[in-house]
Amino acid sequence: MSEEQKIALITGANRGLGLEIARQLGKQHITILLGTRNRERGEAAASQLRALGMDVIPLELDVTNQASIEAAARLIEQTYGKLDILVNNAGTAVQGEETIPPSQLTGEDLRATMETNFFGAFAVSRAMLPLLRRSIAGRIVNMASEMGSLSIQSDPSTPLPPMLAYEASKAALNMLTILLAKELQQTPIKVNSVSPGYVSTDFTGHQGWLSVEQGAAVPVTYATLPADGPTGGFFGANGPIPW
């Protein structure tokens, strides 16, 4: 493998947005590591992309399991010696949370959502950072949401539902983006939050008005930023989103 060959890890990548992000990055001749909790589903997803001529390897990775994260990091180091792109895509939400008043949400549901959406992204980023430092142009993309914007949520006219667990986890993820970008500002690594928009996937019950191709285009853009691209920002298809 040449030093120029880029290696990308996408978490939660066996279906939906994660799989489409992998496909679009794979079209750019980037080696794709498909992070999935289930080995069989990961292999099935990887086979789809290999059939398109892409270099794709399924990687068993549970973002809520530290041992799994560390094992994945060791495997990447032993096989590739570096990582160029990390897309923290794995996410979850409480079923039916849009109908649950914030005061009625259980602590267990709040903790479970934060465990995947925030703590999982933090743990994976922390484990992969030594490998990203070896890249000549490391990129971290955190899959956020406009629903995690304090500015938007504090607007009385906002039409967004009050999903405390999901929205708080995405707001926390945005803080990780800001502070990690500050920490890494003297390095080539760029860290950004992106909102793909309301995409039609299993995750949204196929209620979204955007296709997975449209939704994936935003994180792919920030995963492949040039050297003069932004860092420490929050972006959607139409540009910056208010924190």
CATH code of the domain made up of 7-240: 3.40.50.720
Q: Note the pLDDT of residue 203.
A: 56
Any long-range contacts for 3-6 (C-beta under 8 Å, 24+ apart)? 3/136, 5/31, 6/30, 6/31, 6/84, 6/85, 6/135
Q: Note the pLDDT of residue 73.
A: 98
Q: Six-digit token pair at 210?
A: 């955007």
Of 170, 172, 43, 187, nearest to 160 by C-alpha is 170
The answer to whether the Cα torsion of 230, 233, 236, 239 is positive or negative is negative
- Residue among 6, 82, 170, 190 flagged as catalytic: 170
Q: What is the pTM of this model?
A: 0.95
Instruction: Tell me how crowded residue 149 is: count the other CB atoms within 10 A of its CB.
Output: 24
Examine the residue annotation and report whether 182 is marked as an active-site residue of this protein. Answer: no
Q: Note the pLDDT of residue 206.
A: 55
Instruction: Tell me how crowded residue 200 is: count the other CB atoms within 10 A of its CB.
Output: 17
Q: Six-digit token pair at 94?
A: 């409480």
Pairing of strands 7-10, 85-88: parallel
pLDDT, tens only, 184-221? 999 999 999 999 987 655 555 556 557 888 989 999 99
Q: What angle do CA 75, 213, 33 make, to 5 degrees?
A: 5
Q: Note the pLDDT of residue 201.
A: 58
Q: Which residue has the tokens 């990961």?
A: 42
Q: Cα(80)–Cα(153) distance, rounded to whole angstroms? A: 42
pLDDT, tens only, 121-177? 999 999 999 999 999 999 999 999 999 999 999 999 988 888 999 999 999 999 999
What residue segments make up the domains of the chain, in order of their start?
Answer: 7-240
Of 79, 59, 85, nearest to 1 by C-alpha is 79
Q: Six-digit token pair at 151?
A: 């500015």
Residue by residue, DSSP assigns 52-110 as TT--EEEEE--TT-HHHHHHHHHHHHHHTS--SEEEE------TTGGGS-GGGS-HHHH
Contact, 226 vs 218, CB < 8 A?
no
pLDDT, tens only, 67-110? 999 999 999 999 999 999 999 999 999 999 989 999 999 999 99
Instruction: Check residue 160 and report its DSSP letter.
Output: -
Examine the residue annotation and report whether 166 is marked as an active-site residue of this protein. Answer: yes
Q: Note the pLDDT of residue 158.
A: 85
- Residue among 6, 80, 82, 166 flagged as catalytic: 166
